[in-house]
Amino acid sequence: MLVLPIKPNGEEEKPSAVVSCHSHVQKLEMDSSNSDKQNNNQSVNEDPAGVDNEFCPGFKDVDAFVKYGLGTVVAATKASASLPQVGDEYDLYRSFPGFQEFCETQGDGLLHCMSQIMHHHGCRAHMRDRNKLTGLEERFDLVVDSNDVILEKVGILLDDAAGVNRSQQPVMPAGFQPPKIVVSSWNRKGGDSGSGRSSETFRLLQAKNVTRPQLKFREKVDNSNTPFTPKIFVKPNAIKPLPSYFTNKHIRKERPEDLDVPAALADFIHQQRTQEHVEDMFAHPYQYELDHLALPENLLSKPEPQMYKPLAETKCSFIDTLEDLVAVNEKLAKTSEFAVDLEHHSYRSFLGITCLMQISTRDEDFIIDTLELRSELYILNEAFTDPAIVKVFHGADSDIEWLQKDLGLYIVNMFDTHQASRTLNLGRHSLDHLLKLFCNVDSDKRYQLADWRIRPLPDEMFQYARADTHYLLYVYDRLRVDLWEVGNGQPALLQMVWHKSKDISLKKYMKPALGREGLAHGPICHLLA
């Protein structure tokens, strides 16, 4: 099997990091190979009559070949423990030009060998001729495809050797892979037993050749091992002013990842620069406003549900320019409530990327391209933090963190329909269940795992994203009615949901720590302790 190691961030892999371990392992394998081959050759010479019956050159039978192969793997595995570890140790070795040159040479040799193996099996094999920016992802795709081809051949040969009769399939050229349909519980739609229709499967809409949006971001993605600090630099609807750390651009732009120094030294520099601002850096910018949020009486009383408009009669706009975004913000500032949802991409990405934002008012739907407008979306804080406007989410725990991490947005006065469903003990708390229960709408989940980086956005994905918020304000009305009635005409249950929703709004995004043991589970504020 071909293996191509990658870093978790997926964006800035150093070639020397890939090859350093492989070069040591390759040397150990060669040494083990020479010694084992000598032993096998000696056994063959002792039995000249068996030379013509060799399993393959140097090995008289399958057992000898398997024994040699397993010995090589075990020796390489044991030796890997002595290789330079990622972090301070590897950074020290990398500081020597001779080590870097050796790693690059060995890396080119390994890629050449892998290309030859892939070419032998009829796979695409241009491993070395790749763009430095996108090469790692393309190489990984090549390795995955090649592994599929090789392992499929191995499976066929094992079945043939075991005497398993396989169904006859059309003969395809070596390396050919027909399009696959991923079938699982999320994309299998059972047929109607009464109508006699068979079950259907939905295709997973992915695109391997999407240009990575990170390359166009004005602000570089921060995959360093330093703590996350809020991106906010202006604070609309403020009761307590924003700390000077966020308003002073000179302080905020002193980032250690911009220096060509080892990771451990960058962390130390970061500590020294920000020591006096630690308390401000890790405080929630809107904590004071959320702690002093007072709900008006109409939000704690029984509402009159307002029926949603049919999709065909509701205007929906795709927002990908600053001018249109400003117009959306002005419309939201004039409303009393609106619904929000996000589409996030995390496949082969270290921290993930927010790709799309859906917003619905009572009269209009908006689909906002958060990749194109990533640096401008902070202006929505004017509406998002207005305590007089209700923001309706469903299951906002992750959304709150994504808004902070990617867009610098915060929420004041939120109602989470997921928390309302749990308070009412509805049994199932998913959005598709609430849509079916209150709107009699069947939620189409075939694009739930689609690649939301695709541009232009396919119409089917556009309609899927729109449906997530189009009905949510009506669901919000119906849930408040049920909370009022179940609470015997008292606001206790409504107050409980508002309180839980406020606690979610107070969540702060924390970057995962990447240490010697891999990905840690806790926040990395301890770096500044």
Q: What residues contact 313, with CB distance under 8 A and at least 6 apart?
A: none
Residue 200 in 3-state DSSP? strand
| CA–CA separation, 503 and 506 (whole Å) | 5
393, β-bridge pairs: 416
Q: Which helix (H) or strand (E) holds 149?
A: helix 135-162
| CA–CA separation, 152 and 144 (whole Å) | 12
> Which tokens belong to 359?
């917003």
Burial class (CB in 10 A: 0-12, 13-18, 19+), 371: buried
Residues 22 and 29 sit within 8 Å (Cβ to Cβ): no
State pTM to two decimals.
Answer: 0.60
> Which tokens belong to 126?
């241009």
Res 446: pLDDT: 72
Each as own residue / partner, the long-range contacts of residues 169-172 (CB below 8 Å, 24 or more positions apart, any chain) are: none
> Which tokens belong to 342?
């996000």
| CA–CA separation, 206 and 203 (whole Å) | 9
Closest CA relative to residue 97, chosen from 196, 16, 14, 10: 16
Q: What residues contact 457, with CB distance under 8 A and at least 6 apart?
A: 318, 356, 367, 369, 465
Consecutive 10-residue averages of pLDDT for the chain (529 residues): 44 41 47 49 46 72 85 83 75 83 84 82 64 61 80 79 56 45 46 45 56 86 83 94 73 52 62 59 90 95 96 96 97 98 88 96 98 96 97 97 96 98 93 95 78 91 94 98 96 97 96 63 40
> Which tokens belong to 247?
């308003």
Residues 354 and 407 sit within 8 Å (Cβ to Cβ): yes
| CA–CA separation, 401 and 510 (whole Å) | 8
> Which tokens belong to 351?
């921290």
Res 220: pLDDT: 84
The HSE-up count of residue 215 (CA atoms within 13 Å, CB side) is 8
Closest CA relative to residue 510, chosen from 499, 519, 501: 519
Closest CA relative to residue 229, chosen from 282, 271, 171: 282
Burial class (CB in 10 A: 0-12, 13-18, 19+), 403: buried
> Which tokens belong to 105?
């040479």
| CA–CA separation, 411 and 404 (whole Å) | 10
| CA–CA separation, 175 and 117 (whole Å) | 12
Res 172: pLDDT: 44
Closest CA relative to residue 508, chosen from 525, 527, 528: 525
